[in-house]
Structure 1
Amino acid sequence: MVSSSTASSTRSQTPDDKHKLFFDYADKTQEALSTFTELKKCSYASKELGNSNSHDFIECDCYEEFQDGVNHACGEDSDCINRLTLIECVNDLCGSCGNDCRNQRFQKREYADIAVFQTQKKGYGVRAQKDIEAHEFIYEYIGEVIAEDEFRDRMIDYDHRGLKHFYFMMLQTGEFIDATVKGSLARFCNHSCNPNAYVNKWAVAGKLRMGIFANRKILKGEEITFDYNVDRYGATAQPCYCDEPNCLGFLGGKTQTDAASLLPQNYADALGVRPSIEKKWIKLMKANGEKILKSEVNNINVEFVKSLDLSPCESLDDVSKVMSVLLQADDNLIIRRLMERILLTKDQTMHYQIIKLHGYRCFNKLLGIFEDDSEIQLEILEYLNCLPKTTKNGIISSQIDKKVEELKEKPELTQVSDELLAKWRSFETYKRITKKDISESSHKKMDLRRLRLPPGWEIIHENGKPVYYNAQQQTKLHHPPNGVTKTFGGSQPSRPSTPLDSPSNGAISSKKRPLDAEEYEKKKKQRIEFQRKELERLKNEELQQLKDKLELEDQKKTELEKIIAEANQQKELEKQQKFKEQQEEEQKRQKKLQQSKGDYMLHKWNRFFAGFVPNLVRHYEKDLGKDHIKECARDIVKTLSSKELKKDPKKSPPPEPSKEKKAKVREFTKVYMEKFSQKYAQRKKK
């Protein structure tokens, strides 16, 4: 993030010496809201900005968990693969988990209770109004999503306008969130060298969104801060007032650059980088007199990333961190190094977790990113060949088999591609367990939605009933395998595993009777026939789906063409109407202009004749009176002016009347006055 507001807080009276509390400071939330335009969600300068690299929406494999009218599916303690990889579920797209699950915090704006207050050494800060638990969602960082060139233009513009506080946060390479003019209350969260919150990037309905989360339990009244962890993009370094023992003293400038983390926190976690590793590398670089620089594009130190000695994923949490970044990352160096960490991982339990957390989708993405590097593609294919056997569902949904089919065209990849595809063809495809299956299995006193199965085990649908299946061991059980636990409402005690071929009378057989050759062949033929029919059924379903999809696309195309034609017709009508209105307006304007010119010429001729006509009628004043003389003079002037305009509307009167003109006017005046005198005498006589 880039902000010229430093991350400080003044000490308030508090019984807790460890954390500073700000109960006594006035609530300035409404005042702060008046300083910017509040947005409910990010706005985008173009629709291409902010798109998630995970491409299509990814479904989780959780099930509805309604209690007291609330769906508890995909909760904090669940194994939701979307939540573990920082992807939010979306209503009507995530099928089995149901609508309004617990993994929709950004969409529902499930913000923590916060308030804005005024600090003593800087502008506004944000405090917690209630206790906030560790990793709880606090607020979304909202603003205008802009491209890098616009970001740099705004930096210059804001500087010229004298703005003291900038509120920029990098969204992904070449894209930034600007909350300076439009944003949310999250813009007031200040920097601290020892923060109690962190920023994480989530994919929500195909768009990337930045959220602020609690790093530890935050007490009521405590200020909420996070580490800006970026250079100043040319801005002047400012003092940091966070008052922490490890405070660097400045925010921005060389001091901050040298001492700050060399990677964003989510990248560091995914690569297994500890602060001690960063400090050791920085110390070594300084000893060698080398500069420590971060890329302005993605806020990473390239040399540091290249120097890392990576270790394999050693825990399920490690796998979650790596897979979440791989699904969202757009930097090839980070992607390559994370892929190396995956390739170093040999533990089969980790392999199952990698597959579960959209692994095949990730590997499909990697094969596309490194399409020009056959060596890396070969490494990926060989690694895929070493992964344990599972159901084929994940391979089909990720479409990685189609990608590998394309790679067969490369001679150096043909053999390994053929081997991998042959291996995948032996995998079985099963229908996913449905809500109906869950309802039908409820009499067994085992809620399938709450089960956390051991690595390698899945719940599949067979002959209308749910079955526990381990593809690697090729084992199917009617009852949960050993080691199963509940994900909600406590643990479920394990039951003795009962193979499908064991007696069904409830007793545990001491030894399974071996099959003779005839029985073995019979079962083998049954299994082959079942697989053949299942494969044929799946092919027919795929063909029907493809047919339906093509028909739907044709229908949409026809509707779109119709809409476009109607729009074009409407546009043409509007264009004609506009042209007609413009013509009418032009005619009115010309008419008005001509009228204006005529009035002007009439005025000039009136002035011309008014210069000498009154003198010609003055000697009639004795007989007619002064008022009648004035009226006659005006009528004569108007009459003469009208005659001149009829002769030539464009002709202007001369500066002085000629003798001939005066003679004609005198003659016209004489005739006019004689007629008027006669009429006047007649009226007077009557």
Structure 2
Amino acid sequence: MSDTKVSSPAINSSSNVGHRKFLDEANKTDEALRTFTELKKCAYAYKDLGNANSNDFMECDCYEEFENGINYACGESSDCINRLTLIECVNGECGSCGDNCQNQRFQKCQYADIAVFKTQKKGYGVRCEEDIEAHQFIYEYIGEVITEDRFRERMIQYDQEGLKHFYFMMLQSGEFIDATKKGSLARFCNHSCNPNAYVSKWSVDGKLRMGIFANRNITKGEEITFDYNVDRYGATAQPCYCEEPNCIGFLGGKTQTDAASLLPQNYADALGVNPSTEKKWIKAKKAAGEKILKSEKDNINVEFVKHLELQPCESFEDVSKVMGVLLQLDDELIARRLTERLFLTKDQALHFQIIKLHGYRCFAKLLTTFRDDIDFCTELLEYLEGLPKTTKNGIVSSRLGNVIEDLSPVPEFSNICQNLLAKWATFETYKRITKKDISDSGDRKLDLRRIRLPPGWEIIHENGRPVYFNAEQQTKLNEPPTGEVKALQNGTSNRSRESSSFGENLGGGTFAKKRPALDQETYEKKKKQRLDMQIKELEKVKEEELRQLKAKLELENEKKSELERIIAEANQQKEQEREENQKRLMEQEEKRLKRLQQTKGDHLTHRWNKFFAGFVPNMIKHYEKDLSREHIKECARDIARILSGKELKKNGQKGPPNELSKEKRKKVKEFTQVYMDKFCQRRSEKTKKRSA
């Protein structure tokens, strides 16, 4: 695998018949795990790396749907606004959908069953050990999250270490995931020019995380691949061995750069760009002899983005793609262009969908980011003024009103900001419907959590019961809007999604078809059966609770024993460390005293040398007629050193006096004369020997 800037290709629903299988290859997962350090979640070089743009958690408007102990809220086929905008729900934060909903795949590590095997030419690869459906979450791409500077340092470092494979993936602008030495099994997914998977970026509890998802239905034994879509930052090109009919032959280098799309796929989808548009633009540029350059920062072609002719959103799916990118985006050019696409959208039903998908929160972020761009902010404020009326709840929770108040003092924005604040002041604020409100409503014919309302309609709480409200039309109904909504009968499984239509006379709150009345005997019989079943269920629940309590007690006892053992080991280790520290401190003190003593001795030696050097040269100056100047200097140094040594030998703590006494001077003079006579004699003998 190479260093990557990854995007998510469009879903391909083509048949997977004829795709190559690798079930006969040996399972090398254990072997592969020994080649790197496995991480359960990303490790961040700095705690603020990988943060999503929004500091506040975004709550969805789904309701919990427990059945047989499983919460089916926020499922694949639901209208969960978090799932639609690539945000995971978090227990304790996303209140109404309940804990452990279906939109927690990263947090629960709901990985597909995969295995690592050895390919013929590509090193390790990953295959699926089960059939995988389109859109299914396969695995999270995990590694060390580092800055761009550190990323470039590691590129050089790994190259110097002789590593053949790098495992980098861009997380967001200026931040990269490095799975080269620490990561997950997802690092072994190879590149393909016709991949069956793609990478998508999700916001999970305030952090951005990269997941690999199925691009189509994948059958057991197929290799899992995705398109690296990579500029290799100057690295040499490598042959591509995907063996697909559309293979371009190389990874990296000029061939891969030219072949890669002009935009990451999630940006392209949000902007409404299809491959034919990109190919047409590339062809025109090449015909004109112009180079095609991509921004190394975000893997986008700025010129292509600026010259796009944008189209309005035409469906709820278009709105979901735009809002999903806008909520996570930090690229200003893409943010501007996506906002332009929203400006072009005139369908009011889509306006309601924009607001529903955290629209107010997104607009607050855009106004803050582009505060200094007068024209863009003016256009955005005018767009807000034209949006349909809703309840005030979304404006308050997104703090959009606070942002508008901050912009009011700016002269260019003053009038329109005041108009917006005045308009929003007329919006109603309602308590949101809760599970308790549904239980207390007494309406047993409808499960209010499973009603799909048309755009503009909400379920609110008023006077102790749920009410259907349309802020734009200023309409409140006790029953769902006539002819525009379907709901499941109470107690029907949400997974089946089999809707029961209401009759035309919804004002009476009756179904089109009624059940026949039961006779008293049948009713009593069914009642007894129901009570017996409830008693059995209650006994099962109590038995399960008792079993869980016993297991919990055993676990607590095991934890207590383990804790006591850990404390004992910790105390023992602490005592050993204390003894070692004490020993080390004593050794350090001895060394310090020794160095101090040595330093003091060196200092005294220097002082005595300097003292004798003050008068010894004058005592031997008359020898210059027999010796050279260099010899005189050498002798003076030797005499001073010898005399210093004698003094220190007598008393190693005493320094030299201020003056030399007559008696001491006489002794020094005698020693000096004897030393010089001997030195001259030795010099004379050496001279005679050389002459002979």
TM-score scaled by length of structure 2: 0.72
One-letter amino acid of the counterpart of residue 94, structure 1 = C
- Cross-structure match for 1:661: none
Could you tell me how far apart the structure 2 residues matched to 1:507 and 1:244 are?
56
- Cross-structure match for 2:502: 495
TM-aligned CA deviation for residue 443 of structure 1: 4.1
Could you tell me how far apart the structure 2 residues matched to 1:433 and 1:400 are?
23
- Cross-structure match for 1:10: none
Partner SS state of residue 211, structure 2: strand
- Cross-structure match for 1:360: 360
TM-aligned CA deviation for residue 119 of structure 1: 0.4
- Cross-structure match for 2:458: 458
- Cross-structure match for 1:315: 315
Could you tell me how far apart the structure 1 residues matched to 2:372 and 2:113 are?
50
The answer as to whether partners of 1:352 and 1:456 remain within 8 angstroms in 2 is yes
Could you tell me how far apart the structure 1 residues matched to 2:429 and 2:64 are?
23
One-letter amino acid of the counterpart of residue 40, structure 2 = K
Partner SS state of residue 422, structure 1: helix
TM-aligned CA deviation for residue 417 of structure 1: 1.2
- Cross-structure match for 2:157: 157
1:265-344 correspondence to structure 2 within 5 Å:
265-344=265-344
One-letter amino acid of the counterpart of residue 484, structure 2 = G
The answer as to whether partners of 1:470 and 1:476 remain within 8 angstroms in 2 is yes
Distance 1:97 1:585, change over 3 A: same
The answer as to whether partners of 2:2 and 2:168 remain within 8 angstroms in 1 is yes
Could you tell me how far apart the structure 1 residues matched to 2:136 and 2:74 are?
15
The answer as to whether partners of 1:190 and 1:225 remain within 8 angstroms in 2 is yes
One-letter amino acid of the counterpart of residue 486, structure 2 = T
- Cross-structure match for 1:558: none
Partner SS state of residue 268, structure 2: helix
Distance 1:646 1:235, change over 3 A: closer
Query: What's the % identity of the aligned pairs?
Result: 70
The answer as to whether partners of 2:16 and 2:219 remain within 8 angstroms in 1 is no
Partner SS state of residue 152, structure 1: helix
One-letter amino acid of the counterpart of residue 434, structure 1 = T
TM-aligned CA deviation for residue 374 of structure 1: 1.2
Distance 1:389 1:192, change over 3 A: same
- Cross-structure match for 1:393: 393
One-letter amino acid of the counterpart of residue 502, structure 2 = R
TM-aligned CA deviation for residue 453 of structure 1: 1.1
One-letter amino acid of the counterpart of residue 22, structure 1 = F
Deviations 1:379-427 (A, max 9, x none): 1111111111111100000010111112211122111111111111111
- Cross-structure match for 1:223: 223
- Cross-structure match for 1:525: none
Could you tell me how far apart the structure 2 residues matched to 1:288 and 1:162 are?
41
Matched, 1:172 2:172: yes
- Cross-structure match for 2:142: 142
1:525-564 correspondence to structure 2 within 5 Å:
none
TM-aligned CA deviation for residue 451 of structure 1: 1.5
1:112-127 correspondence to structure 2 within 5 Å:
112-127=112-127
Could you tell me how far apart the structure 2 residues matched to 1:335 and 1:477 are?
39
- Cross-structure match for 2:484: 483
Q: Which runs of 5+ in 1 are unaligned?
A: 5-14, 509-577, 598-644, 652-686
- Cross-structure match for 1:520: none
Could you tell me how far apart the structure 2 residues matched to 1:338 and 1:124 are?
39
Distance 1:279 1:442, change over 3 A: farther
One-letter amino acid of the counterpart of residue 495, structure 1 = F
Could you tell me how far apart the structure 2 residues matched to 1:385 and 1:16 are?
49
Could you tell me how far apart the structure 2 residues matched to 1:586 and 1:323 are?
64
- Cross-structure match for 1:106: 106
The answer as to whether partners of 2:501 and 2:511 remain within 8 angstroms in 1 is no
TM-aligned CA deviation for residue 582 of structure 1: 9.0
TM-aligned CA deviation for residue 485 of structure 1: 3.2
TM-aligned CA deviation for residue 17 of structure 1: 6.0
One-letter amino acid of the counterpart of residue 370, structure 2 = F
The answer as to whether partners of 2:457 and 2:469 remain within 8 angstroms in 1 is yes
TM-aligned CA deviation for residue 492 of structure 1: 3.4
Could you tell me how far apart the structure 1 residues matched to 2:16 and 2:239 are?
26
Matched, 1:447 2:454: no
One-letter amino acid of the counterpart of residue 406, structure 2 = E
The answer as to whether partners of 2:502 and 2:511 remain within 8 angstroms in 1 is no
Could you tell me how far apart the structure 1 residues matched to 2:279 and 2:423 are?
46
The answer as to whether partners of 1:483 and 1:494 remain within 8 angstroms in 2 is no
TM-aligned CA deviation for residue 589 of structure 1: 3.7
Partner SS state of residue 177, structure 2: strand
Deviations 1:461-501 (A, max 9, x none): 000101111111111111122322356542434436889xx
Partner SS state of residue 107, structure 2: helix
One-letter amino acid of the counterpart of residue 484, structure 1 = V
The answer as to whether partners of 1:39 and 1:182 remain within 8 angstroms in 2 is yes
- Cross-structure match for 1:97: 97
Could you tell me how far apart the structure 2 residues matched to 1:183 and 1:472 are?
51
Deviations 1:165-195 (A, max 9, x none): 0000000001000000000000000111111
The answer as to whether partners of 1:179 and 1:187 remain within 8 angstroms in 2 is yes
Deviates more, 1:159-168 or 1:432-441: 432-441
The answer as to whether partners of 2:140 and 2:211 remain within 8 angstroms in 1 is yes
Partner SS state of residue 159, structure 1: helix
The answer as to whether partners of 2:16 and 2:218 remain within 8 angstroms in 1 is no
One-letter amino acid of the counterpart of residue 339, structure 2 = M
Could you tell me how far apart the structure 2 residues matched to 1:174 and 1:646 are?
69
Deviations 1:347-373 (A, max 9, x none): 011001000000000000110111001
The answer as to whether partners of 2:479 and 2:509 remain within 8 angstroms in 1 is no
The answer as to whether partners of 1:263 and 1:300 remain within 8 angstroms in 2 is yes
Could you tell me how far apart the structure 1 residues matched to 2:458 and 2:412 are?
35
Could you tell me how far apart the structure 1 residues matched to 2:498 and 2:28 are?
47
Could you tell me how far apart the structure 1 residues matched to 2:581 and 2:217 are?
67
Could you tell me how far apart the structure 2 residues matched to 1:441 and 1:138 are?
42
- Cross-structure match for 2:252: 252
TM-aligned CA deviation for residue 162 of structure 1: 0.6
The answer as to whether partners of 1:78 and 1:488 remain within 8 angstroms in 2 is no
- Cross-structure match for 2:679: none
One-letter amino acid of the counterpart of residue 323, structure 1 = M
- Cross-structure match for 1:192: 192
One-letter amino acid of the counterpart of residue 320, structure 2 = S
The answer as to whether partners of 1:111 and 1:139 remain within 8 angstroms in 2 is yes
Could you tell me how far apart the structure 2 residues matched to 1:2 and 1:579 are?
48
One-letter amino acid of the counterpart of residue 477, structure 1 = L
The answer as to whether partners of 1:480 and 1:495 remain within 8 angstroms in 2 is no
The answer as to whether partners of 2:433 and 2:460 remain within 8 angstroms in 1 is yes
Deviations 1:501-529 (A, max 9, x none): x7x79899xxxxxxxxxxxxxxxxxxxxx
Partner SS state of residue 233, structure 1: coil
Could you tell me how far apart the structure 1 residues matched to 2:511 and 2:244 are?
66
Distance 1:445 1:307, change over 3 A: same
One-letter amino acid of the counterpart of residue 145, structure 1 = V
TM-aligned CA deviation for residue 259 of structure 1: 1.2
TM-aligned CA deviation for residue 293 of structure 1: 1.2
- Cross-structure match for 1:532: none
One-letter amino acid of the counterpart of residue 88, structure 1 = E
One-letter amino acid of the counterpart of residue 345, structure 2 = T
Could you tell me how far apart the structure 1 residues matched to 2:585 and 2:653 are?
25
Distance 1:403 1:165, change over 3 A: same
Q: Which runs of 5+ in 2 are unaligned?
A: 5-14, 488-493, 513-579, 600-647, 655-692
Could you tell me how far apart the structure 1 residues matched to 2:596 and 2:356 are?
82
Partner SS state of residue 411, structure 1: coil
- Cross-structure match for 1:47: 47
TM-aligned CA deviation for residue 646 of structure 1: 12
The answer as to whether partners of 1:2 and 1:231 remain within 8 angstroms in 2 is no
Could you tell me how far apart the structure 1 residues matched to 2:103 and 2:511 are?
42
Deviates more, 1:127-136 or 1:16-25: 16-25
Distance 1:183 1:260, change over 3 A: same
Could you tell me how far apart the structure 2 residues matched to 1:306 and 1:2 are?
30
TM-aligned CA deviation for residue 246 of structure 1: 0.9
- Cross-structure match for 1:182: 182
The answer as to whether partners of 1:479 and 1:495 remain within 8 angstroms in 2 is no
Matched, 1:428 2:435: no
Could you tell me how far apart the structure 2 residues matched to 1:68 and 1:105 are?
20
Distance 1:384 1:248, change over 3 A: same
One-letter amino acid of the counterpart of residue 72, structure 1 = Y
Could you tell me how far apart the structure 2 residues matched to 1:92 and 1:497 are?
41
